[in-house]
Amino acid sequence: MIKHLSIKNLLLIDEIDIELNNGLCVLTGETGAGKSMILDSLSLISGERIKASFKPEKGKTSSVSAIIDISNFKFLKHELQELGIDCDDEILIKRIITDSGKSKSFINDNLISLNILKKISSNLVEIHSQFSEQGLLDSNTHIDTLDEFGDYLDSKIMIGQFWQSLLESKKKFESKKEELSIVKNEREQVEYDLKEIESLSPLENEFNDLVKKRVVLKNSAKISECLQSVIDNFYSETPGGIDKLLLKNISELDKIKNLLDENSLKKIEELNSIYIDIQELANYFSSLMNEEFDVSSLDKIEERIESYRRISRKHKIEESNLLEFKNKLIKVADSTLELEKITNEYEKVYLENVQKFENGAKKLSEMRKNSAIKLDKFINQEFPSLKLENAKFKSFFEDTNPSQNGIDKVTFKIKTNPNSEMGAIKNISSGGELCRIALAIKVIAQKKNKTTMVFDEVDSGIGGAVSSAVGERLKKLGESKQVIVVTHSPQVAAFGNDHFIVEKNTESDKSIIKLKKLNNEEKLKEIARMLSGKEITLEAVNAARKLFNH
């Protein structure tokens, strides 16, 4: 609800400040008095683009500001908070136009874009006139109008929740799916690398052992020569190997051991022990000579060392770390399987949410279609009283991309002549007809919506009982929301809760637009003027009183 409207230096308006209430607010005045300028100011705070005529004189600035009650718009508070705009139950919308013709928009002194202003204001103010681009002329709003009429708010809220769950689960699933796709591509390489490493079958410390063996085998001739000499020294007959000489010494000592003391006997035992150790050493070197110097195995060792080095170079690791790297690849392959399992679980949740949404959306669509039949019937019943006897209204459905609203696209179509085709509401040529059609739809459909409704030319081409019917419906609409109507009809004006008169005065050769709120006596005189013209007659005053007593 607009609580306060301030207009400064706009066209012929020097300065206007008005307090507005809920219910039906009527603006009247003689033709050319400047009522359209008040509507222009409302269109500015609604986010409409400025006209060239709005450009103020050089050195001056035009502004329109409105204090709007948003206590019934919780979702709007959330949107404002998302934009970083602090708000309570009221916001201040302001539009400034500089002498260069450029404009700036503000909400609570926060600079915003025109698109943001239009988005926010579209929930707060809806203008219906011949030149309006809001409300029913925008077919995207038709589904909301139908849903407000229908008794299935809980189902619509549930569909919105299903949709959010669907989007969230879809995002998670697609993220994991993409991750899995990347990992699967990597896994192919991992599996190839694993196969290559497993064909080598690396062992713990094997590479270092191979390098040592290769060194031994490459020097086998020299080592063999030395070992042969060592063995000969053990077993040679001439001049006598270590083995023979030591055994000979032991035999000689055995001949006199009975003649020696205890300490010498111990030494003879030690000598026997040394003889045994020397025999074991001789056997070791003999076996080393036979086993370690199989030169034919050198090629195999060289080949295996090269395999170690080739695979290690490929992965930029040390040869001794190849077995550890293999174990890491095995873990990567195992983690891919786990990721695949998680992705499948995410897909299952996503598909379950898709099913929930589709089932709920189909039920909601059926409720909408049943509700549309009733809406069409009630609106068509309103038309004759509004002098729209030949008009026919119908709601049309078509499938659309799924959204938080479900699977329906709803478009209101109408024809004003029996022989014409049903067409878009925006194609209606008469501004008065358009406003009356909008009025009929709003009275029937929007009982909970708190958007301020603005009607211009709603009484165009009608009079008498039809005007009274329009007034009654405007007042009925005003019982649940703020309604502002610009009218030339005394029958309509008589239904107003608040009545403002727009006057054009000439001061210092300059025309100035003034706006004044009327008390009951002034309101009576204004309606009498509307009935009789400039000269207010007694008959006009009496007729005005009768209208008040509707």
Q: How far is CA 409 from the centre of its chain?
A: 21
* Domain extent listing, the chain: 183-336
Span 172-210, pLDDT tens digits: 999 998 888 877 776 667 777 778 887 888 888 888 888
Span 457-482, pLDDT tens digits: 787 777 778 888 888 889 988 988 89
Selection from 528, 482, 477 nearest residue 501 by Cα = 528
pLDDT of 243 strictly over 80: no
pTM of full prediction above 0.75: no
> Whole-number mean pLDDT of the chain?
85
Q: Indicate if the alpha-carbon torsion angle 31, 32, 38, 43 is positive or negative.
A: positive
Assess contact for 326 and 198: CB atoms under 8 A: yes
Give the integer Cα–Cα distance in Å for 61 and 100. 9
Which band of pLDDT confidence, cut at 50, 70 and 90, is reported for residue 97? very high
490 cis-preceded (ω within 30 degrees of 0): no
Span 334-348, pLDDT tens digits: 777 788 889 999 999
Span 435-454, pLDDT tens digits: 788 888 888 887 777 889 89
Max mean pLDDT range (278-282, 294-298, 422-426, 483-487): 483-487
Element holding 472 (H helix, E strand): helix 464-478
Report the pLDDT value the prediction gives residue 132, as an integer from 0 to 100. Answer: 56
Q: What is the CA radius of gyration of the chain?
A: 50
Report the pLDDT value the prediction gives residue 501, as an integer from 0 to 100. Answer: 93
Span 509-538, pLDDT tens digits: 677 888 899 999 999 999 998 888 777 878
Max mean pLDDT range (4-13, 67-76, 365-374, 382-391): 365-374
Could you tell me the strand order of the sheet in which 498-507 lies?
A: 110-112, 103-107, 90-97, 62-69, 2-10, 13-19, 510-517, 498-507, 23-28, 482-486, 452-456, 125-128
Strands (E), 48-140: 62-69, 90-97, 103-107, 110-112, 125-128
- Helix axis angle for 220-235 and 206-218, nearest 10°, is 70
Which band of pLDDT confidence, cut at 50, 70 and 90, is reported for residue 222? confident
Give the integer Cα–Cα distance in Å for 136 and 144. 10
